[in-house]
A and B are shown apart, each in its own frame.
Chain A
Amino acid sequence: MSFQMPDYYNIQDLMSDEEKMIQNSVRSFVEEEVLPIIEKHYEGGTFPFDLIKKMADLGLFGVTIPQKYGGAEASHTIYGLAMQELERGDSGIRSFASVQNSLVMFPIYEYGSEKLKQKWLPKLATGDAIGCFGLTEPDFGSNPSGMVTHAKKIEGGYLLNGAKMWITNGTIADIAVVWAKLDGVVNGFIVEKDMKGFTAPEMKHKHSLRASITSELIFQDVEIPEENKLNIKGLKGPLSCLTKARYGIAWGAIGAASAVYDSALNYAKSRIQFAKPIASFQLIQEKLVWMLNEITKGQLINYHLGRLMDNGKARPQQVSLAKRNNVEIALQSAKLAREIHGANGIINEYNVMRHLANLESVITYEGTHIIHTLILGEDITGISAFM
């Protein structure tokens, strides 16, 4: 049974020809290149390296970056559609693309010198260089302003010390965009993999995002040249990157939710118990309808948020609402889909357990569900619950 993306409100009709074409192209890519190999990598806890070049060839790195730096110069809506289709395959594959696009290429493009842009953006676009983003620390997750990683001014550059944790792509990265305090203010630095004193050991034994590499970044007196410092001061630097990435995650989550919904619907129609398909039972129908209902709402949020982003009118709080809502309903959908699949739901013949386990990470990273709730709470009441 071939996959059918739910589109109950004909949102497809609102998309331009380019948007539809890109969605179709990434969907075919996921069907032919990701789905056939993903379970093997998930089970083995390995990242499918072959996909890096293939994703780059398709133009999935630097989606919104100008073509002169090797990007596709496409809209945020197109970036969102691409993330949705990738996460229909696997959250780990989408995470790779999110990091490369929003957390590495975006800050270099936005805050890097022309020299840094020329040096890194074309290579990152072709997948010849891989990037990672270091903000979270072992003791500072939701509270990044407490970070202990720090830089000290030395002649010709900076001396970096500290450690980052839960860093996607860290071990395989050629460059790390690292946020550290300089004279008590958060600043961004490009750390290159061969710099002395920089190591990035992989964190193993995850039960989630198993087809994605997660690492620690350790800096011991790493000398960073002056030119590798980004031109932005304060927490708004990393937060602007996170807004872009969270926006992509809001779309990606709907991809994962669509995957588990489609699987559950097909399973329910073909699984016979008590001499009829389980789809004929009211409690199963209620679950399927809940999923479709929430996915449709999520699609409409994404569609409109995409247009706001494209017009430069989206506020970070609006992105928080989308990430918060869509990941939550994707996780709930995966849970319901797992139940509908019965015992079959736990084996890798079906995608549901993999998506369910992945989404447990997605609901925690890039601003936990609770932090997004408090961002919105602050926005509507004017009272911060966490500062």
Chain B
Amino acid sequence: MNILVAVSRVPDTTTKILVGSDGKFIDTNNVKFILNPYDEYALEEAIRLKEKNGGKVIAITVGPATAQDILRNALAVGADEAVHIKSEQNFDSFFVASQIAEYASKMKPDIIFMGKQSIDFDSLQVPSILSDILDLPLATIVTKLNYEGNMVKAEREIEGGKEVLSLQMPCIISAQKGLNEPRYPKLPDIMKAKKKPIEEIDAPNYENNIEIIGMELPSRSRLNKIVGDTDEDIKEIVRMLHEDAKIF
């Protein structure tokens, strides 16, 4: 079974994010980057599937030269090969999806995994655009998978419940937390990953469909409301958090 896993490089969740001097992108100085956490579930699922059925796992990313570290990470966890679509420009979701689609149309994987979203821009668009370009069935935000022959049964989260889908391979799965427990890369495997191949492909120049006009940090102004501790007050706090602050 040939499996393609799309991964992305994102700022570490504990990194303090600042806006760059152009006001259009984050300041990447002193930012620690990591493999997108949702992609870890995708990668783990791909490797488990390969360990069970044999075949090959190829990890792919679209990004600048510095993004190679997450491919090494994917190779250390168990991917067999990696593909780096190199681009130094800032790009939108369509570009990423179209580059992955181009590679996938040549590789013809049986299944494509990716995280449900990248935690940098959180647009959740790549799986859907990829599904459209490749004309392949898609299950997003998947928490459980079962495989029977060339059919995949996917359990996915929906508002207040779950939905079970049946898809025919080849298909695309976007992974949600809970799909599995990703393994740690082991020291000997990290050392061996150095010797695994990374294919480098230069991405074409591209004009974004979406232009970022500005970026700013959330304002930290206080509501300056002081409430008491009666049951009614607590209900009011919950309402404010839910409706005004939209925290949950």
Residues of chain A whose beta carbon lies under 8 Å from any beta carbon of chain B: 2, 4, 10, 12, 17-18, 20-22, 24-25, 28-29, 57-60, 63, 67, 71-74, 78, 82
Query: Whole-angstrom distance between the alpha carbons of A24 and B187 in the complex?
Result: 11
Contacts of A20 in B (CB 8 A): 69
Is the Cβ of B184 less than 8 Å from the Cβ of A28? yes
Query: How many residues belonging to B are interface residues under a CB distance threshold of 8 Å?
Result: 20
B5 vs chain A, min Cβ distance (A): 17
Q: Does any Cβ of A come within 8 Å of B194's Cβ?
A: yes
Q: Does any Cβ of A come within 8 Å of B10's Cβ?
A: no
Q: Write the B45-83 contact mask toward A (1 if CB under 8 angstroms, else 0).
A: 000000000000000000000001100110010000000
Q: Does any Cβ of A come within 8 Å of B32's Cβ?
A: yes
Is the Cβ of B14 less than 8 Å from the Cβ of A4? yes
Q: Does any Cβ of A come within 8 Å of B20's Cβ?
A: no
Query: Whole-angstrom distance between the alpha carbons of A12 and B34 in the complex?
Result: 13
Known: A17-B69, A18-B194. A59 touches B189 (CB 8 A): yes
Q: Does any Cβ of A come within 8 Å of B105's Cβ?
A: no
Known: A2-B14, A10-B30. A22 touches B187 (CB 8 A): yes
Residue of A12, A22, A57 near B190 (CB, 8 A) is A22
Of B34, B69, B72, B185, most A-chain CB atoms within 10 Å:
B185
Contacts of B72 in A (CB 8 A): 17-18, 21
Closest to A54 in B: B184
Is chain A's binding surface mostly helix, strand, loop or mixed?
helix
CB pairs A–B below 8 angstroms (19 shown): A2-B14, A4-B14, A10-B30, A12-B32, A18-B190, A18-B194, A21-B72, A21-B76, A22-B185, A25-B190, A29-B184, A57-B186, A58-B184, A59-B186, A59-B190, A60-B187, A67-B188, A72-B187, A72-B191
B40 vs chain A, min Cβ distance (A): 10
A78 vs chain B, min Cβ distance (A): 7
B211 vs chain A, min Cβ distance (A): 32
Contacts of A25 in B (CB 8 A): 184-187, 190
A36 vs chain B, min Cβ distance (A): 15
Is the Cβ of B188 less than 8 Å from the Cβ of A73? yes
Q: Write the B130-151 contact mask toward A (1 if CB under 8 angstroms, else 0).
A: 0000000000000000000000
Contacts of A71 in B (CB 8 A): 188
Closest to A18 in B: B190
Query: Whole-angstrom distance between the alpha carbons of A73 and B190 in the complex?
Result: 10
Residue of B14, B34, B187, B194 near A82 (CB, 8 A) is B187
Contacts of A12 in B (CB 8 A): 32
Closest to B32 in A: A12
Closest to B29 in A: A10
Is the Cβ of A58 less than 8 Å from the Cβ of B30? no
Closest to B185 in A: A25
Query: Whole-angstrom distance between the alpha carbons of A18 and B185 in the complex?
Result: 11
Residue of B14, B32, B190 near A21 (CB, 8 A) is B190
Contacts of A17 in B (CB 8 A): 68-69, 72
Contacts of B191 in A (CB 8 A): 18, 67, 72-74
Contacts of B187 in A (CB 8 A): 22, 25, 58-60, 63, 72, 74, 78, 82
